[in-house]
Structure formats: C-alpha cells, structure tokens
Structure 1
Amino acid sequence: MPRALWWLLVGMALNVTGASFLWPLNTIYLHEQLDQPLAVAGAVLMLNSGGSVIGSLVGGVLFDRIGGFRVLLAGAVLTMAALAGLNVWHGWPHYAVFLALVGIGSGVVFPAASAYAGAIWPEGGRWAFNALYVAQNIGVAVGSALGGFVASYSFSFVFLANLLLYAAFLAIVTVGLRRIPLLPPARTKRPAEAEKVPSRAVGWALALLCAGYGLCWLSYVQWSTTIAAYTRELEIPVGQYSLLWTINGALIVLAQPVLSRVIHRFMPGMKRQTVIGFAIFVVSFAMLFGADSLVEFAASMVVLTIAEMIVWPAIPAVVNELAPQGKAGLYQGIVNGTATAGRMIGPVIGGWIADAFGMKLLIGLLVAFALLAVAASLLYDRWLPRPTEKAGEKTAATI
C-alpha cells in the first residue's frame, strides 16, 4: 500500500477510537448524569445521526470541489471545536447541541476518507476500502474497551480523551497527507467506457446499491437495540451479551487474512462479493429463529460478522467504480449517509415492530430485508453497459 494510505489508516483509527470513547456512553450520560428521560436521550442520538447524514453529503460534495485534504481538515476542526465546547459545557441542553455538531463534523470526515482512499490507491480496488474498514474497527474495539474504564473515573475524562484523539487525527492528516500530489477530481483520467455510461443508468445502480446497503444497516443495528433487549428477556446476562460484540471485534481484526484469501479466490468480481455477502446476512438473521441460548446467538453473530466483513468494504468500492468523473466524493457521501440513516431509523422501526407484533415477526422482516438487498445487488448493473473484457480479465460487474 502507498505510504499516504498508511497515514490515512492510522489517522482514521485514532479518529474512530476517540468517537468510540463517547458513543456507547451517550444514553447512560444523558439519562443518569443529566436526568433526561430515555425518550429524550433517543431524540438526542437521532439528532446526532441526522447531523452525520448532513455532514456526509456536505463532505462528499466538498471533496469533489476542494479535494480530500482540505475536507478532512475542515471536518476535523469542526469536530474538535464541538468537542472543546463539550469539555467546557456538558450540561443540558448544551450537550445535545454539541453532540449534533460532532455528528456533522464526523459526517464530513468519513466519506472524504473513503474517497481519499480510493484516490490514493486506485489500483488497489476493494483492498483500499477493506484496509480502511479494518482500521476503523480497530478504533471501535479499542475505544469501546477503554471508554467504560475511563468513564468509571469521570465522564469529563471521556470528553477530554475524545478531544485529544481527534487532535492526534488532525496532526496525522496534516503531517502525512499535506504533500500528497493528487489530481483534482475533474482532471482524473477514467476509462473510456466509463465516460459512455448514461447518467440515468449509474443513478439507478447507485440507488439499488444504497437501498440494499441501508436495509442491511437497519437490520444490523437491531443487534445493539431490540435483539439486545430480547436476550435480556431470555435471561442471558449482560456480560454474556457483551461477549458477542467481543467476538465481532476479534473476528474483524483477526480473521482478515483468511477472509482476504477466500475473497481473492472465490469472489473475484465485486458484484459476486456483494451478492454473497448479502446472502450471508440472510443466513445470519434466519439463525435467530428459535435462538434461545448464548451459543446460538454467538453462532449467528459469527455469521453476521463474516457478512459485514464482505459487504461493508465492498459497497464503497463498487460505488467508487460507478462514480462519474469528479463525483467520487458525492457518491461516497450518499453511501455513508445511507448507512447512517439506517442506523438512525433502525432502532425506532425495530422497537415499534417488536413491541407491537413480537420478535418473531421482526426477525422475519430482517430476513426479508436481507433478501431484498440480495435482489438489489443482483440487479444494480442491469442497465449498465458491459465493459469489454481483455484476456480473461474480470470486471467489477462480473459474477
């Protein structure tokens, strides 16, 4: 990998580590420290997610206009300013305001980082996005593990640690990426076939991919909301439920070398990778039917983790190939915003269905959503012209 990509990966790992200090503790802080009802805490978290959706679209557009380095700086500075305010004023309602600003700032950073990874290492294809995915999950694992420990001393230390890690991210970006000679998006060379693709066909392809991606994120987030509550109804202790996420994080980091070889051998085309990944999501949710023990939930989590390891890096990689000249940032912003929207509305929809109709119906809908994602990944390239293959080369649309 290019050295510049390593700088970006380290920076994003620090960025996500800082964010992961805070996000698992938001509800606890709002409810127990600020005495806000759970409904209000949920509304604040939706405000944060809504800010992230807006930031994703803004960050994507700005990437296409002013380049990745400036966008990463802008997102980092905005987030740091909000975190600095949070360190000084973390009472009510200041907390909600600053958390919304943090959502906007972090939303700006993520699509810019994805588009930047593709621009730094275009010949790397999916592997650039896979490396970014692993780096972010290392940050999630480290931040989530340390956040509770730090909060046990003082929530003020959580805010301070978040700020300092974002400052480290800003320093990494400034030092490592400032002199990277990337061409402006409008002057980037693209294959001749890409210039002949009708914009309507690309739009349909993007819409279908994002629909499947959003449905799977809506389903995935149930694991930390409705499914978590369901395990408590089955009298599975909280400590054992937390072990499921430990399995998730460990697999993402440790199983990458093995899975990378499997993908390289059996999933040579990006379309095949997305179809198989979404199909594995179907299996993971279907395994929840009748699950009533830790072992059964752990087995479903293992399958779910394999699915996300295949799909989550693949969708940005496919979209990066689909993006018209000078639109890579916008397309990554739409993808990132879709994922955030799924995480935002997922708990609301899942909670309502589980309360009104029961968990069995919700699980059935999760399976149906994953099947729709499979259909979307099968059809997304139907209106795209088939590129000419040379000497047996497989294109991104090959399955």
Structure 2
Amino acid sequence: MSIWRSYPRSLKVLLLAMLVNSTGMAFLWPLHTIYITQGMGKNLSEAGFVLMLHSGAEIIGSFLGGYLYDRIRGKRTLLLAVLTSASLIFIISIGLSWPIYILSMVLLGLGIGAIFPPIYALAGVVWKEGGIKSFNLIYLVLNFGVAVGTSLGGIVAQFSFRYVFWVNGLTYLLFIFIVWFALDEPDQIYASMEKKNTAPRPKKEVRPAQSLHSLFVLCLGFMFCWVTYIQWQTSISNYMHELGFPLSAYSALWTINGLLILFGQPLIQWFMARLNSPVKWQLLSGVIFFMLTFALLSYSQSYGGFVTGMVIMTIGEILIFPAVPAIADRLAPLDRRGMYQGLVSGAANVGRTIGPFLGGLLYDGFGSLVLLYSCIFICGFALICFGTYQRLQYTQKKISTVKVHK
C-alpha cells in the first residue's frame, strides 16, 4: 500500500479508469463473432468482414484520438471518445438491422480507437518522474481488466447477449464519471505548449523531424510484433484444435499469460532496473523471445511445448508492449504527445488487423510449419526496425553534440 500512496493522484485515477474500461471492453470483444453468427444468423465470413471494418476504424480512431489530444486536451478527448462508444453500445443492444449494425460497429471502432492515445499521453504527463513505470502500470491494469472481463463476459452471455452490451455500456458510463469528476489534468503542460508555439523557432532546430523519423521506425517494428503476437489468438488456436487439444487447454494458456503479466511483470521490470538497461534493449530482447517462441512451436507439438511457448512469449510481451509508448512519450515534443501516441496505437491496430488475415492465408495455403517459420521471419523485420531505431538515436545524439560544441 505504501507504493500505491507514492503514485500521483491523477495517475491513480487513470489506472482506475483504465481498469474499468478494459474490464467492460473484455466483456464484449471475445463475443462479437458469436453474437453475429448466433444472435444475428450471419455466417463466419460476414462476421469476419464486419470485424475487419471495426478494426480498420480503430486504426483511424487512434490517429483521431491523438490529433484531438493535441487540440482539445486529453480529458475532453477521453470524455468525447467514451461517450461516443457508450452511446453506440446502447444503440447496438436494442437490436439493429444488418446495414445499421455494420455502420454502428464502424463508428464504435472510431470511438474505441480514440480512447488509448490520450490515456498513454496522460500517463506520461501526470508522472514525468516515473518514466516507463507509468506505462508498465497502465499495461498491468489493462491486462488485469481483460482477465476479469473475459471470465465474466461468458457467464453473463449465457443469460442474454443484451446484458453483455449493457454491462459494457455501464462501464463506459462509470469511466466517464471517474474522468469527469476525479481526473485533474496538469495545466502547466499546456502552458508550456502554448509558450513553445508562440516562441520563435531556431533556424537549425531539427529534433522534431528526427524524433518523428525514429518514431516511424519504432512503430513499424511494433506493428510486426503485433502481426506475430495476434497469431496466438487466431491461427494457433486452430492449430491446437487440429492437434486434438480441447478448448479448455487453449484457454488455460491465456490464464497462464494473465498470471505471468500480473505477477511476473513487476519482477521483470525490477530486474531490468537493476541491470540499468536502456529501454531500447528491452525491445531487442523482447523480439528475441518472440522468435524463440515460434521456433519452439515449430519443433514441438506437445502441450508442454505450447505452455513453454506462452511463457516465453509473455516475457517478450512484457518487455516490448509497455516500452514502445514509453519511448514515444520521451521522443514527443510538448505539442505532439497525442499524435505520437496515436501513431503507436495505430501501429498496434494495423498489426492486429492484418495479422489474422495474413496468418489465415499462410495457415490454409501452406500449413502450420510455414506459418511458424514466417512468424520468425517477420520478427526478424521487427528486430531490424528496433535496431535501426537504436542506431538513429545514437546518430542523432552525435549530431546534437556536434551542434552544441559549435
């Protein structure tokens, strides 16, 4: 409890809001396909098409959320995004015709996508001294909410899908209540932004362009990581089913994932802090763990191999996923925090969108072994991107040093 008291109040509010939001979202997102096929009587292809449109809208929503953060501040952006999402959830719950449902799902994707950039941007603002710790805590709370929501969502859905929508909508309303009445957004950050915008820029200032180049390379590597990670939720589940493993065995892997994140992340981050390792080395180490996972699965078809693979993958996830928004926060100029976090969230959404499609093509066309080898190959691209990011940072530091000495 003493550690919890040491956190700034605004960070605690953000964590509580994120817990509520992730729990509510997890009630619904695993059940979308079941609702479309069983509740609306559509086939799996039609469900996949709608979810693809929804994911594509989340990508646009990520950029929109980042843009709005830089224009109207984080609190207003959060309230607007969550109010939009809540309204659409309640509208969908009444039962819609197929075309209206598709439109509502697209708009819902925009709203949901716009939530995360301001959350991460504010996490870097409200506790500047915390560094990556803020993003580790957001990531931890996010996964805890997902674990709770997915476990309860199935129970509620047994009574009625409408109840699932209502619970999700009520969590959005609770999120709005928490943010509206409890979140204090630091005004000094925006005062600094306005001062910077009105101040004359030095003719040789190049840092914003350089940092944006670094961010693009970083986001590209992040996207490749998500393309491979999402295979655990799509192609690998089919692979395990074909090998004869029951659904309960596959679900147990995600229980292991959640427990490792909850209890293992603080230990791993403590270990990284003791090593005094730069955040960029976490990225390279995390990708290597990803590659080891798919290499193991390509040689082992036992359940123990899948368990070990999930453990290794989770360690890589812990190293990579909180680090990328933390680096983006460090790279971002004062007036572009939202845009930078929007690019990070957008990159993740791109990976989550194209990953299932690409994995399905490889799995159906060439088999599981080609899919697993391809994931190793794609991780190689992520390794190159993160290595290039590191080199760009080193080069920019040398350039800045030379300019200072001049």
> What TM-score results when the alignment is normalised by the length of structure 1?
0.92
Residue 322 of structure 2 corresponds to residue 316 of structure 1: no
Residue 392 of structure 2 corresponds to residue 386 of structure 1: no
Q: 2:166 is matched with which residue?
A: 160
Bigger drift between 265-274 and 306-315 goes to: 265-274
What secondary structure does 2:98 align onto? coil
Residue 7 of structure 2 corresponds to residue 5 of structure 1: no
Distance, in Å, in 1 between the alignment partners of 2:88 and 2:331 is 34
Aligned residue type for 1:227: I
Deviation at 1:104, TM superposition (A): 0.8
Distance, in Å, in 2 between the alignment partners of 1:74 and 1:38 is 32
Of 221, 232, 235, 2:241 maps to 232
Q: 1:377 is matched with which residue?
A: 386
Distance, in Å, in 1 between the alignment partners of 2:163 and 2:188 is 38
Of 1, 10, 24, 2:30 maps to 24
What secondary structure does 2:391 align onto? coil
Give me the identity figure in percent: 39
Deviation at 1:180, TM superposition (A): 4.4
Residue 39 of structure 2 corresponds to residue 33 of structure 1: yes
Distance, in Å, in 1 between the alignment partners of 2:330 and 2:347 is 18
Of 160, 169, 176, 1:170 maps to 176
Q: How does 1:131-170 map to 2 (within 5 A)?
A: 131-170=137-176
Deviation at 1:256, TM superposition (A): 2.3
Deviation at 1:267, TM superposition (A): 5.1
Distance, in Å, in 1 between the alignment partners of 2:36 and 2:127 is 42
Q: 1:394 is matched with which residue?
A: none
Distance, in Å, in 1 between the alignment partners of 2:205 and 2:287 is 29
What secondary structure does 2:397 align onto? coil
Q: How does 1:300-339 map to 2 (within 5 A)?
A: 300-339=309-348
Deviation at 1:333, TM superposition (A): 0.3
Measured at CA, do residues 56 and 179 of structure 1 come closer, stay the same or move farther in structure 2, by a change above 3 Å? closer
RMSD: 2.2
Shift >6 Å, 4+ stretches: none
Q: 1:103 is matched with which residue?
A: 109
More helix by share: 2
Q: 1:48 is matched with which residue?
A: 54
Q: 1:181 is matched with which residue?
A: 187
What secondary structure does 1:327 align onto? helix
Distance, in Å, in 2 between the alignment partners of 1:323 and 1:152 is 46
Q: 2:253 is matched with which residue?
A: 244
What secondary structure does 2:299 align onto? coil
Distance, in Å, in 2 between the alignment partners of 1:135 and 1:188 is 35
Bigger drift between 216-225 and 169-178 goes to: 169-178
What secondary structure does 1:341 align onto? helix
Residue 124 of structure 2 corresponds to residue 118 of structure 1: yes
Distance, in Å, in 1 between the alignment partners of 2:352 and 2:276 is 28
Aligned residue type for 2:378: F
Query: What residue ranges of structure 2 are gaps of 5+ in the alignment?
Result: 1-6, 401-406
Distance, in Å, in 2 between the alignment partners of 1:284 and 1:265 is 26
Q: 2:65 is matched with which residue?
A: 59
Distance, in Å, in 2 between the alignment partners of 1:68 and 1:125 is 19
Distance, in Å, in 1 between the alignment partners of 2:98 and 2:145 is 28
Decide whether the 8 Å contact of 1:119 with 1:182 is kept in 2.
no
What secondary structure does 1:27 align onto? helix
Count of aligned pairs: 388
Residue 278 of structure 2 corresponds to residue 278 of structure 1: no
Aligned residue type for 1:186: M
Q: 2:93 is matched with which residue?
A: 87
Distance, in Å, in 1 between the alignment partners of 2:398 and 2:183 is 34
What secondary structure does 1:382 align onto? helix
Q: 1:222 is matched with which residue?
A: 231
Decide whether the 8 Å contact of 1:129 with 1:314 is kept in 2.
yes
Q: 1:397 is matched with which residue?
A: none
Residue 261 of structure 2 corresponds to residue 255 of structure 1: no
